Amino acid sequence: MLQKWAFRSVFAYLLLGVILYVYLFYLADSTLPQMYKGGSADPETFMSSREIMLSEEFSTIKNLLFFLSTPYEWLFYFLILIFGVSRAFERWAKGTTKVGFLQTAIYLFWLSLVSYIAIFPFQFISYKVSTTYNISTQTFSMWMKDELTDFWVNFLLTFIIVSVLYALIKRFKKRWWLAAWALSVPFSIFMMFVQPVLIDPLYNDFYPLQDKKLEAQILDIASRANIPAEHVFEVDMSEKTNALNAYVTGIGSNSRIVLWDTTLEQLEDEEILFVMAHEMAHYVEKHIYIGIAIYIVLSFIGLYIAARLMNWIVRKYSDEMKISDVSNLSSLPLFLMITSMLMFAVSPFSNWISRYEETRADRYAIEMTQDKEAAISSFQKLSKVGLSQVNPPLLVKIFRYGHPTMLERLNMLEEYEIEEKKEEKTP
């Protein structure tokens, strides 16, 4: 039975890999519809033929890595369960110490280490692809430094979460998922509050925007939008990437509007002002708080489903999974596998919500700046520098895109101009 389960799961993964490869490299359609040829969304108007070819290659490889790495994670968790690796880690931890929280720490260390080693090939291939296509500028040593920082930050956070989670499972046999959900909400909000000042600086240096003239222009837009901003932050990203980005992070008094230095170097001031107006729209329209509300609902449903599935699987397949009780630490890979599957399943919905909010932010930015040309050129440069597809395949858009495609964003600007002209003609 064990060999049959292992063989079938590996075979299913390999078959999925072949199907995804054929779809992405041979069947998926990313060509631009004829009606958009020659317009602002046509890559031929702002990219060279070589850049178009590289963007297609790079995007396709990254998409394949994404779709392969997610089920690979599920396969990994499944195999360490059925082969008894997770149970061995738990026995090892219990045999080392009698102190409960130390047992959790020892178990998690070995699980985290084995997980990191198993997933490392995907991480390394992704890094090499990014450097090959000149997206990443990191040396291997710099990249490994970030990887190790990730490992220990994730280990610490996971240790806190898992310690509390399994204490709740032991305390509330049937309603542990409800208690876990009730505690996860304030914990997630707390992490959003402290991330800009405690976690983000572990990876990069943040400082107030050095171009004071540009900062004054950005703060003027913030003032007109009734945003209580005193500083705009820039972050040193050029030693890691050539890509462009800006974002809003944190909540409450720890909210920050952040610009990558690559964005400052490669965009004109008018384009940066459009990008900043876009980011401010997320604050104005309270997208962060909407996101928190959606998280509260989805995490409630997700934890309930995870608990029901874990109880059913352990009850029916305890011998095969090498789990005698849900409260055992060895059941953690099962919990992680189920929650990962649920998150992947709900990603089309969450991405759709995100794309809607980003579209709202784009529209807000063009209404605030009234600079269509800067908006168009900023989107074109984002696509060109990041080697992103203007019109990605439908499956990629559904599962990967939290932003509208460049075709949709540039087309929205064209339609906005048409709407404006119609309104001007209306008496």
According to the model, what pLDDT value does residue 248 have?
Answer: 73
Top pLDDT among 129 and 211 is at: 129
Catalytic residue among 279, 357, 358, 408: 279
According to the model, what pLDDT value does residue 140 have?
Answer: 94
Please say whether the beta carbons of 158 and 409 come within 8 A: no
List CB contacts of 178: < 8 A, sequence separation 6 or more. Answer: 172, 303, 304
What does the pLDDT look like over 7-19, one tens digit per residue? 899 999 999 999 9
Please say whether the beta carbons of 218 and 233 come within 8 A: no
According to the model, what pLDDT value does residue 207 have?
Answer: 82
Is 197's pLDDT higher than 80?
Answer: no
Give the number of other CB atoms < 10 A from CB of residue 402.
Answer: 13
The mean pLDDT value for 28-48 works out to 90
Which of 283, 274, 305 has its CA nearest to residue 375?
Answer: 274
Top pLDDT among 189 and 168 is at: 168
Q: What percent of the chain has pLDDT over 70?
A: 95
Assign 3-class secondary structure to 44-100. Answer: HHCCCHHHHHHHHHHHHHHHHHHHHHHHHHHHHHHHHHHCCHHHHHHHHHHHHCCCH
Q: Over the chain, what is the mean pLDDT?
A: 89
Is 348's pLDDT higher than 80?
Answer: yes
Q: DSSP secondary-structure letter at 241?
A: B
**With bands split at pLDDT 50, 70 and 90, how would you rate the model's confidence at 193?**
confident
The mean pLDDT value for 376-398 works out to 93
The mean pLDDT value for 380-395 works out to 92
Straight-line distance from the first to the last Cα atom of the chain, in angstroms, rounded to the nearest whole number: 77
**With bands split at pLDDT 50, 70 and 90, how would you rate the model's confidence at 418?**
low
Is 422's pLDDT higher than 60?
Answer: no
CA gap 98, 240 in Å, rounded: 44
Is 351's pLDDT higher than 90?
Answer: yes
According to the model, what pLDDT value does residue 335 have?
Answer: 97
Q: Is 423 a catalytic residue?
A: no
